[in-house]
Amino acid sequence: MNPNGQIAIVTGGGSGLGEATARALAAKGADVAILDLGIERAAKIAADIGGIAIQCDVSSADGGAASVAEVVKKFGEPRILVNCAGIAIGMKTIGKDGPHPLDQYRK
């Protein structure tokens, strides 16, 4: 895949694997939109790479759709999507009181 000249969306691009991915895509010539809850950090990274940052909760379908519409308005139709957003659950799957609540996975 040659990302040069392509439009890329990276969810969770404000840190970790998402940040590294956004930086790598930009270094290869892609226009990168970083979607992240942490807009301040995402905006700093976007400024570093010449991209844009959009605050987005990817667990919300409406929020995701609005964010993609913003990317289309700014850059055009995205051709690359990398999903790095996630929520880490800080508890054991099964603890001394039994399994943790499954609704934690629905966030």
Instruction: Tell me the residue range of the domain where 26 lies.
Output: 7-106
Q: For the chain, what is the domain count? A: 1
pLDDT for residue 52 is more than 90:
yes
Q: What percent of the chain has pLDDT over 70?
A: 89
pLDDT at 30 (0 to 100): 98
In a domain, 2, yes or no: no
- What is the C-alpha to C-alpha distance for residues 68 and 105, in angstroms, rounded to an integer? 24
Under a CB-based contact definition with an 8 Å cutoff, are residues 29 and 50 in contact? no
In this predicted structure, what is the pLDDT of residue 97? 81
Residue 1 lies in a domain: no
Residue 101: give its domain's CATH number.
3.40.50.720
- Average pLDDT estimate for 65-87: 95
**What pLDDT, in 10s, does the model give residues 3-43?**
999 999 999 999 999 999 999 999 999 999 999 999 999 99
Contacts of 60 (CB under 8 A, 6+ apart): none
Give me the pLDDT at residue 96, please: 81
